[in-house]
Chain A
Amino acid sequence: MNFLIFKKLTRFSFLLLILSAFSALTCQVALADGVVVDKVYHPYVLPNEQEFEWRMLSHQNDAGNSLGQRIAYGKSITDNVMIEFYIVGERDKDGDFGLSAYEVETRWMMTDQGEYWADWGLSLEVEKVHELDIWEVTTGLLFEKEFGRDSLALNAFLIYESGSDIKNEFETEFRLQYRYRWLPQVQPAIEIYIGQDYTGIGPTFMGIQRFDGQKQLKWELGFITGLNGDDKDHILRASIEYEF
């Protein structure tokens, strides 16, 4: 019994250590100019996998509501590398929804799931803003660790923004997701997003519904609240991913 309590305390202390390390890390760094809240990545890739993805993000704060959506197609090109192409759309200040950016993303599963103490992956994204000379190159370290039926995923991104329409600079972003794998279709989680001028936390629900063969539908729905002192700062994020 005492051993179990010790194990739980150790696990809790360990999580606190990770959280404090990443919080300390982000307290003096700059955030990407875009919205930090997006999606917490997992460091896994399956061979022969293709997917269509839709993501939506609605941000409500004192300035009003902004809406972003993206659609993507992804395909694993080797046993452990996946490439994904995005088209990003946003509602502008006049209320018109239109194309805002294009993006190419690759994810590399560096270790087999469960092979080591934790699982690692890397991501590389290149984004170009539509009709503006703004480029964003992002490299990310993806981490995941299982604790029984719980999973902790951490993403650390280093972003370089450049172009004649933006100040060239390095920025960082951190994302955390602590998930309880309750049922395949319903898995509650807590997510934290950290960057310059923004720290957000909130509950997220996700799940997976399997069909024939490799066909499966993944969904995520999160409600992230900003902790920056604004009276109102809420983000509703949703995503649907069809893998086949």
Chain B
Amino acid sequence: MSLFSVKLMQSVIVFFALLSFASLANRPEFEVELKNHLFYPAEIEIPANTKVKLVIYNRDTTPEEFDSFDLNREKVIFPQKKSVIFIGPLPPGRYKFFGEFNPNSAQGTIIVVPKKSVADTNIETLALVYTAPLAANSLLLKEVLHVN
């Protein structure tokens, strides 16, 4: 093997490795539960053209295998454990999935919608939404206590 080939091989591998392992920060996360061989929720909306992390909790006492030809994913979820499945980036559309061990009951759909339509699950936004009224209530309570 020539020196050129070795160097080229190294460069190609390093290039792909760097590209592959580049951190894709701030991946939106969605949670799904598997109970009595049913997915909750059975329909999950995710933003288009975005890689998302789907965390599936298997509350059953038997293993399940998440399977989807549409999503090109297959993953075993052990009983009473959680499993992470990375999905996307995908164009808008409906992508079906099912549990291989209970295909008649364990069924679900990933609905990929344009970004603006997705319920905002960003933690900072959620924090603002929930803490602002709490803070306001707290101030109001203080004022009431102060007056009395």
In the assembled complex, 16 residue pairs joining A and B whose CB atoms fall closer than 8 Å, in A order, are A25-B8, A25-B12, A26-B5, A28-B5, A29-B2, A113-B73, A113-B75, A113-B85, A114-B85, A116-B22, A117-B19, A117-B21, A120-B17, A156-B13, A184-B69, A210-B100
B83 to chain A, nearest CB (A): 10
Interfacial residues of chain B within 1-43, with CB under 8 A of chain A in the complex: 1-2, 4-5, 8-9, 12-13, 16-17, 19-22, 24
Cross-interface CB contact of B84 among A25, A47, A112, A117, cutoff 8 Å? A112
What is B's interface to A at a CB cutoff of 8 Å? Answer: 1-2, 4-5, 8-9, 12-13, 16-17, 19-22, 24, 51, 63, 65, 67, 69, 72-76, 78, 84-88, 91, 100-101
Closest chain B residue, CB of each to CB of A184: B69
Minimum CB distance partner of A22 in chain B: B12
| Interface of chain A: mostly helix, strand, loop or mixed | loop
Residues 17-43 of A contacting B (Cβ, < 8 Å): 21-22, 24-30
CB <8 Å contact, A146 and B24: no
Q: Measured between alpha carbons, how far is A140 from B3 in the docked complex, in Å?
A: 20
Question: Could you count the A-B residue pairs with CB atoms below 8 Å apart for me: how many are there?
Answer: 80
Known contacts A25-B8, A48-B63, A148-B91; A213 and B22 CB within 8 A of each other: no
In the complex, what distance in Å separates the CA atom of A143 from the CA atom of B19?
Answer: 12
| B8 and A21 within 8 A (CB) | yes
Contact A112 B20 (CB under 8 A): no
A111 and B1 contact, Cβ closer than 8 Å, known pairs A148-B91, A156-B9, A213-B100: no
Partner of B1, one of A30, A113, A118: A30
**Which of A's residues lie within 8 Å of B, judged by CB?**
21-22, 24-30, 44, 46-48, 79, 111-118, 120, 141, 143, 146, 148, 151, 156, 170, 172, 181, 184, 210, 213-214
Cβ-closest chain B residue relative to A149: B72
Contact B86 A113 (CB under 8 A): yes
With A22-B12, A170-B1 already in contact, the answer to whether A116 and B73 are too (CB < 8 A) is: no
Whose C-beta in chain B lies nearest to the C-beta of A215? Answer: B100
B101: chain A residues at CB < 8 Å are: 213-214
- A residues in contact with B17, CB < 8 Å: 120
Q: Which of A117, A141, A170 contacts B22 (CB 8 A)?
A: A117
Bound together, the chains give a CA A118 to CA B13 distance in angstroms of 12
The residue from B24, B67, B74, B76 contacting A116, defined by CB atoms under 8 A apart:
B24
The answer on a CB contact under 8 Å between A46 and B76 is yes
Q: How far is the CA of A116 from the CA of B54 in the complex (A)?
A: 14
In the complex, the answer to whether A21 meets B5 with C-beta atoms within 8 Å is: no
B12: which A residues are within 8 A, CB to CB?
Answer: 21-22, 25
Q: Which residues of A contact B69 (CB under 8 A)?
A: 181, 184
CB–CB B13/A141 < 8 A: yes
In the complex, which residues of chain B have a beta carbon less than 8 angstroms from the beta carbon of A48?
A: 63, 76
- When the two chains form the complex, which single residue of B2, B51, B72, B91 contacts A151, counting CB atoms closer than 8 Å? B72
User: Shortest CB–CB separation between residue A116 and chain B, in angstroms?
Assistant: 5
